[in-house]
Amino acid sequence: MPSLPQSNRQQRPPEGRDNVGPLKGLRVVDLTNDHPGALATMFLADYGADVVKVVPSPGIGLETGPEYLVWNRNKRAMQAPVTELLAASQALIERADVVVESLAAAGKAAYLAASKRNPGLIWCSITPYGATGPLAGRVGYEALVAAVAGIHTEQRGPDNEPTFNPLPIAGIGTALLAIQSVLAAIYERRRSGSGQLVETSLYQGAIAARSPMLVRGEGVQTWDSAGNDPQGALPNYRLYECADGNWLHLGTLIPVFWNKMIIALDLFEFATDPRFESAPLYWPSEEVRAAAKRLLAEKFRTKDRAHWLQLLRDGDVPVSPATPTHELFSHPQVVANGLSTLIVDPRVGPLEQAMPPVALSATPGGVRRAAPEAPQDELDWESATRFFEAQRERAVVAGRGPLAGLRVLDLSSYLAGPIGPAYLADLGADVIKVEPPTGEGCRMIMMLYLGGNPSKRGLALDLKSPASREPLVRLIERSDVVVHNNRVGVAERLGLDYDSVRRIRPDVIYLQSTAYGSKGPDARQPGFDPLFQSLTGIGLAQAGPGRPPVFPKTPICDIATAMLGATAVLLAVAHRDRTGQGQLIETSLLATGLWLKSDAFVRYAGHEPRAVTNADNSGTNLAHRWYRCRDGFIFVACRLPGERSAFEGQTGVRAAGEALAEQAAERELAGLFATRTVGEWLERLDKAGVPAERVAMNNDEGVYQNPQAAHLQVLANDPYPGFTNLRQPGVLVRFSRTPARRRSGSPACGEHTVEVLREIGFADDAIRDLESKGVAGVYRPGG
């Protein structure tokens, strides 16, 4: 193994910065027992919270595996008898700021008791499917929730069968919902002095992580998940093999980059052949798509990948290599942006891992200590005082949500920017979306626009025009937060970089999201979600051992980057509430990809990358995979020894553990499951205590036709001009005292221009003048 480099991100902050993070002094009790809770509390700990993880004893202890060396970092651990976790944690809970738990039915009752003694307590409860409803109480392992929600059929095999997704999509979405909700409740508590119960679930997380892809309605063109080309259905947006056997991901989603690709590759047939005249936004037939794929595939097979990467980057064409996660430690962008760090772990020695995924200029956070080696019998809080007391008492305004009063100016576009402010808007923030009078680029793909901008007000303003400066300055003056995801250098040209904005509003919280980070040789390169799923190894992991990389259908880098950005805004708000200081926040698709793969982006002596799927991409082993039944597919997920024994008892099939025996047993089980329906198998396995669920064959079945979604009231009917019966995910978290709500659908271009300009002091004559000059756009129904 090569020697480990020094940390790529400076651990000692310059003068004036607090490296512990904006949550320094926040007391968090972690009573969770799986990936979502571990990821959520790791994030809180990374940014300064004192997290005490309470683990059951005897014989269970801390989770094992390289992922938990990362996910439990910065935490302390206390052990308690498995039947007495709450009782043993009582002293901590009574003086805690936050509890995060996955105690299922016991959670709400525990909160009600604890809140009487600690009325400022924020209690975050994570369940598999929600505390009530038709699926409440069922075993909810990640793979099972993914089956129920339709995640395993986002990608299909050659016979239209499911493909196991090893990335914990549901858990990632759940962790992000939990973190956001806790921080929103902290913001509200600062103003009211009261805590509250916050509830979400893995099922809701599975929806959150794919929310823009779940928009449905008459007139809305969706990306059909039935396309079975594992490298991508669109010729302009897919993986190609090069002459050396390596793969690259082409990312020419929109016309400007498609045209640059034609020039760079000298493929002017795409510009002259009438078959391709509507490319890349519309491909008239499968035959035309196949012809375009052949032209590009033949071109890329003529030279090695390095040649094409350099040529396309020089031509400003979005492209990336498909690489395994563990190869990224020396990537120039990882090094330049400090996206990895090195600590000494007491179990494995020097351990390199991902840094926290968002960089805050004044309170960056970091990795301060390794995961605890062993739990202690008793612990107390490190800080002698609470995080902060209420600023002032105020009455709660019903229906406004926990972020009522927060003002956000959203200058972002496409997907990795707008979704974050949309979550803030759903939680009560006043978010004004600014886009050109001609509309932002994502309107070319209305499904994504509609999914990324609900609950906002829309202002159409040409930021390139000098006449837009006065309204823009007034907007910045009244905004707590400014968000953009322009390519590096664009904000500076528009006079909207951080230094320019804070001269207008000195305490502004400024979030910029980029593709590769703001530093390094690729900082100015364009990028889209799938390029980073390929670059960070997500596509290779999805493919399975020995197979070409695939194009994962869920744009998880985009969605998670946006959600992380919104979460970082709330971190910065918490810091400003205590100090009056604003700051710059940086996120990137690359940093997010590494955070999503934090279980694999680890390096220490003796560690070898692990295969995460079995030979046919059905799961991980014979007791954790899907099987085809007479009328569909079932997913079996046995994680505990007793569950595996029960499964073997019901099927009569056992394997000794050797690879050949396991494969033979899987073939026998495949034949056995094919003899009965999914319902028959579920009835039998449920009675025996074997965790299993029917695999939803599409998103409609997994979400819109699922009675659990209706019971949780997580779906919204959001109107938009030109579309009917428009449906999409709504608010995915429940707040007991300050309920959040979907206030509106996504705005039409310029829908609120007049309203917003009036609010900031423009007379109607001045507004008409801006409109007549093309500086402002005003939406007129039917116009």
What domains appear along the chain, each with residue ranges and CATH number? 254-317 (no CATH), 404-595+741-777 (3.40.50.10540), 622-695 (3.30.1540)
The predicted pLDDT at position 539 comes to: 94
User: What angle, rounded to 10 degrees, do the helices at 556-579 and 169-192 form?
Assistant: 20
Give the tens place of pLDDT for each residue, 393-411: 455 555 689 999 999 999 9
CA distance 413 to 434: 9
In the three-class reduction of DSSP (H, G, I as helix; E, B as strand; rest coil), residue 532 is classed as helix
What is the token pair recorded at 544? 């399975």
CA distance 603 to 741: 43
Long-range contacts (CB closer than 8 Å, 24 or more residues apart) made by 85-94 = 85/31, 85/54, 85/56, 86/31, 86/110, 88/54, 89/29, 89/31, 89/54, 91/380, 92/27, 92/29, 92/52, 92/54, 92/379, 92/380, 92/381, 93/29, 93/118, 93/121, 94/118
What is the token pair recorded at 662? 């396991």
CA distance 149 to 206: 7
Q: Which residues have a Cβ under 8 Å from the Cβ of 159 and sit 6 or more positions away?
A: none
Q: Which residues have a Cβ under 8 Å from the Cβ of 647 and sit 6 or more positions away?
A: 623, 636, 638, 685, 688, 690
CA distance 430 to 664: 59
The predicted pLDDT at position 225 comes to: 45
Is 435 within 8 Å of 441 (Cβ atoms)?
A: no
For residue 565, which phi and psi values (nearest 5 degrees)?
-60, -45
Give the chain's count of helices (H) and strands (E): 29, 27
CA distance 209 to 582: 29
The mean predicted confidence, pLDDT, of the chain is: 92
Other CB atoms within 10 Å distance of the CB of residue 349: 11
CA distance 693 to 153: 14
Is 546 within 8 Å of 245 (Cβ atoms)?
A: no
Strands 632-637, 692-694: pairing is antiparallel
How would you label 307-328 residue by residue, b for 16+ Cβ within 10 Å and e otherwise?
Answer: ebbeebbeebbbbbbbbebbeb
Of residues 651, 643, 646, 696, the one with CA closest to residue 670: 651
For residue 662, which phi and psi values (nearest 5 degrees)?
-65, -45
CA distance 120 to 196: 7
3-state SS string for 684-719: HHHHHCCCEEECCCCHHHHHHCCHHHHHHCCEECCC
What percentage of residues in the chain have a pLDDT greater than 90?
A: 80
The predicted pLDDT at position 5 comes to: 41
Is 557 within 8 Å of 533 (Cβ atoms)?
A: yes
Max distance between CA atoms of the chain, in angstroms, equals: 82
Regions of the chain with pLDDT less than 70: 1-19, 58-64, 224-227, 388-399, 656-659, 783
- Residue 527 backbone class (left: φ over 0; alpha: ψ -120 to 50; beta: rest): beta
The predicted pLDDT at position 163 comes to: 92
Of residues 24, 64, 31, the one with CA closest to residue 45: 24
CA distance 168 to 173: 9
**Cis status of the peptide bond prior to 58, with omega within 30 of 0:** yes
CA 145 to chain centroid? 16
CA distance 277 to 263: 16
Of residues 325, 279, 297, 350, the one with CA closest to residue 605: 350
**Which residue has tokens 């990936």?**
35
Is 50 within 8 Å of 382 (Cβ atoms)?
A: yes
Question: Would you give the end-to-end CA distance of the chain in angstroms?
Answer: 66
Other CB atoms within 10 Å distance of the CB of residue 106: 13
